[in-house]
Amino acid sequence: MGHYPLSFPFTVASGAGDRKVSGRWALTQGLKTFTPATGTESCLSAPSPGNGVGPLQRKIWTATGKADSVDSEEEGQDLESHRPQGQMGNNKSCPGQECSSRFLPAEQAEVNRLFDALSSEKLGSSASPRSFSLQALKARLLKAGVGTQRDVFSEKKQIGPTFSLVGSVVEMVTRLFEGMRRVDGSGKAKGPSERVSQEQFTASMSHLLKGTAEEKSLVILNMISASGGPVKARDVHKFTEDLVGSVVHVLSYRRQLRGWSQKPPPGSPSRVQVLAAQLCSEMRLQGKCPALVPRPWRWSVVPRHLVFKFKVSKCGGKLLGPQWLDRDCDQAVLEDWVFRAHHVATFLSLVIHQGFLLLRSSLKLATLVPERQVDPQREFASVLDVLSVIYVNSHLPQERRLSWRLLFATELHGNSFAQLCGRIAHGGPCLVLLEDSDGHVFGGFASCSWEVKPQFQGDDRCFLFSVSPRMAVYTCTGYNDHYMYLNQGQQTIPNGLGMGGQHGYFGLWIDVDFGKGHSKAKPTCTTYGSPQLSAQEDFQFQKMEVWAVGEAPKAESVRKTRSILDIDPEARALLEASGRGRHSEGLREVPDEP
C-alpha cells in the first residue's frame, strides 16, 4: 500500500489510566494510520458516505485495541477521500443484479415502475420499448409537474448573466440522461448508447442514491464530460450552478420551501451562484496548492479516543478566478469533492426524489429545510432565502435542524437593544443575523441561551458565518473561549452583543447604540478564524434577525413575559448600585419563577 509523503509525531493519553502512547501519524492510500512506539497499530477509517445523506460513521481503534464509532455529519467535508490526487478508480459500473440488490424489494419495484413508464413513452421512435430516450425523460418531468411543456422541450439556451431556474432543471435532466447512457455495466461497450437501458437506469439510480463517493463521481463525470475524461473546473462550476438551481426550482414546484422564499431580497447577488461557488471552492485541484494541515479534533466531544481531523487549505488566488477555472479535474478530484462537499450528493438525490417522484420516503427533507415559524399576523421579508437557510442549517447540531423560530427582527420589533436583549435572553440556541449598509449578510450561531452578564459564555459548538457576498462557516479555533458576550448597563466594560475575539476587537459586534457594530480580523478572528465579515470594519445596519433553532425551551412562554431585570439579577443589582432605581417597582406584577 502506497503512502503519502506526510507524517508527524504525537503523544496522547490512551484512556487507560494515566498511560500515554506515542507514535507517528501518516496518511496512506486507504487509511489514516499511526504506529505507536509500543508496536500496537491503531487506525482511523473514514469510509465513503454511502447514501450521501446522513452522518458519516468513522471507526476508531484506540491504543487498547478496542473499536468504537463516532457519528459525524458536517465534519465529513473536512475529511479526505483517501485516494491520492490523479489516481483513477475502477471505471466499471456494478452489474445490474448487484445494483438491484442495493435497493429494498419495495424500492426496486418503484425503480422498475419508473423505468416501465419511461420506456413506454411513445414519442415517434421505433426503438426497443425496453429503453428510453431523452425526450421520454423530459416528458416524464413534465408529467411530474416540475415545468411546462414550453419550459421542458424548449431548445433555446440561456443568454446573458440572468440565471434561469427552469433552464437549470432542463439542463440537469439532459445531464442525467447523458450520465445514464454512458454507464457500461459489461465493460465491453465501445461508446455511449443512444438510449438508456434498464440495466443502465438501475445502475445509475443505485450509484446516485446509494453509491459510494467513487460511484457518484463516475456518474457526475459522465454528466459533465462528453468523452468521460478530465474536464475543466469551469465545467464543474456550471454543473454545480445547474444542480443548485434545480434544487430551488424543484422545492418551489413541490411546495417544500417550508415558509422560506426561493429568491434573495432585491439587490442581492444570486444565492444560486453564491452557493455554487462555495461548493466548488471545496475542490482540491491539481497544481500548486498548500499541503495538508492537520489539526486536533474536538477533544471535548471524544475525550477518550485519539482522533485527528485533517483540514486542507484552499488553493491560493481569487476564488473561482480565471486560473482556477482553467484547472483540470479528473475522476479522482471529483471523488474527493463529492466525499467532502456532502451537499453535492444530497442535492442530486433531492432532484431525483422530488423531480421524478422516486423513493421520496427515503429523503429526509425536514432536516434539510427547517420549518420557518413566524407569527402569521406579523410576516416580514427576511434577508434569508431557502438556499442560505439550507447551507447554514447543515452546520447546526443535528437536533437543531428541524425548525427556526423568529425571536427578533428589526422590521417587527424596532431598532432597540433593550428589545433585543429581552427577546433573546434565555431563548435557547439561536442564530444572530444582520445585513450591513453595503449589503453584506453575516452572523453567528449561539449554541446556548444568551444571558446578560459581563462574562463570556457559550461553547465550541458556536460559529460565525457569512451568507453574502459569499457563503462560508467559521468554526472555533481553540485559541480562546470568547464564544459569546452580551452585556448592558456597565461603564467599565463594553455594552453590546459580541462573538469571538476580545473586548473592542470582536469578530462580530453589535453595539448597545443600536445600528452600529464592527467586525475586526487582522488577519483573522482569534476565536473563529473568520475574516472581516462586513464590508467595512466599522459598519452600520438597519436589518437584524434572531432565529431560535430547534425545540423551544420548556419555560420560554413564561420568560417572554418577564422583564430583562427579572431575568438577570446581576443587571438589577448593578442598576441599583449605580443609584438608578427601578421606577416601575410596585407598579407591575413580577411573574413567578418558572
Q: Each residue of 289-298: pLDDT tens digit?
A: 433 333 333 3
Q: Residues 316-334: pLDDT tens digits?
A: 223 567 788 888 999 999 9
Mean pLDDT of 82-88: 40
283 closest CA partner among 373, 225, 343, 226: 343
pLDDT tens digits for range 17-65: 333 333 434 333 333 333 333 333 333 333 333 333 333 333 333 333 3
Q: What value does the mean pLDDT of the chain take? A: 75
* Dihedral angle, C-alpha 324, 330, 333, 334, nearest 10 °: 100
Domain range annotation of the chain: 3-78, 96-286+327-362, 370-577
244, 272 Cβ separation under 8 angstroms: yes
Number of alpha carbons in the 13 Å side-chain half-sphere of residue 473? 23
In terms of pLDDT, which residue wins out, 63 or 589?
A: 589
Q: Provide the pLDDT for residue 263.
A: 84
User: Per-residue pLDDT for 159 more than 50?
Assistant: no
Cα(24)–Cα(535) distance, integer angstroms: 44
Chain segment 449-476, per-residue pLDDT in tens? 999 999 999 999 999 999 999 999 999 9
- CB 208 within 8 Å of CB 218: no
pLDDT score recorded for residue 148: 54
Read out DSSP for 273-336? HHHHHHHHTT---SSS-PPEEEEE--TTTSTTS--EEEEEPPPSSSTT-HHHHTSEE-HHHHHH
Of 503, 502, 498, 500, whose CA–CA distance to 529 is shortest?
500
The model scores a pTM over 0.75: no
With a cut of 60, say whether residue 85 has pLDDT above it: no
For residue 128, give the amino acid letter: S
What pairing do the DSSP bridges indicate for beta strands 371-373 and 403-409? parallel
Residues 6+ apart with CB under 8 A from 68: 59, 60, 62, 305
Distances (CA, A) of 394 to 2, 329, 341, 369, 384: 35, 26, 11, 9, 15
- φ/ψ of 466, rounded to 5, equals -130, 140
pLDDT, residue 460, reads: 96
- The domain made up of 96-286+327-362 has a fold known as Recoverin; domain 1 (1.10.238)
**What is the per-residue pLDDT for 549?**
97
Q: Helical H runs in 165-232?
A: 165-181, 198-210, 213-224
pLDDT of residue 315: 35
CB 431 within 8 A of CB 404: yes
149-154: average pLDDT: 51
pLDDT at 239 over 80: yes
pLDDT band at 227 (very low <50, low <70, confident <90, very high): confident
What single DSSP character describes residue 342?
Answer: H
pLDDT score, position 4: 36
pLDDT at 279 over 50: yes
Q: How confident is the model at residue 307 (pLDDT cuts 50, 70, 90)?
A: very low
pLDDT of residue 372: 95
- Segment 161-170 shows an average pLDDT of 66
| Structure confidence at residue 208 (pLDDT) | 96
The top-scoring range by mean pLDDT among 85-94, 196-205, 282-291 is: 196-205
Instruction: Express as a percent the part of the chain with pLDDT over 70.
Output: 64
> Which residues lie closer than 8 Å to 103 by C-beta, 6 or more apart?
111, 206, 210
More confident residue, 509 or 580: 509
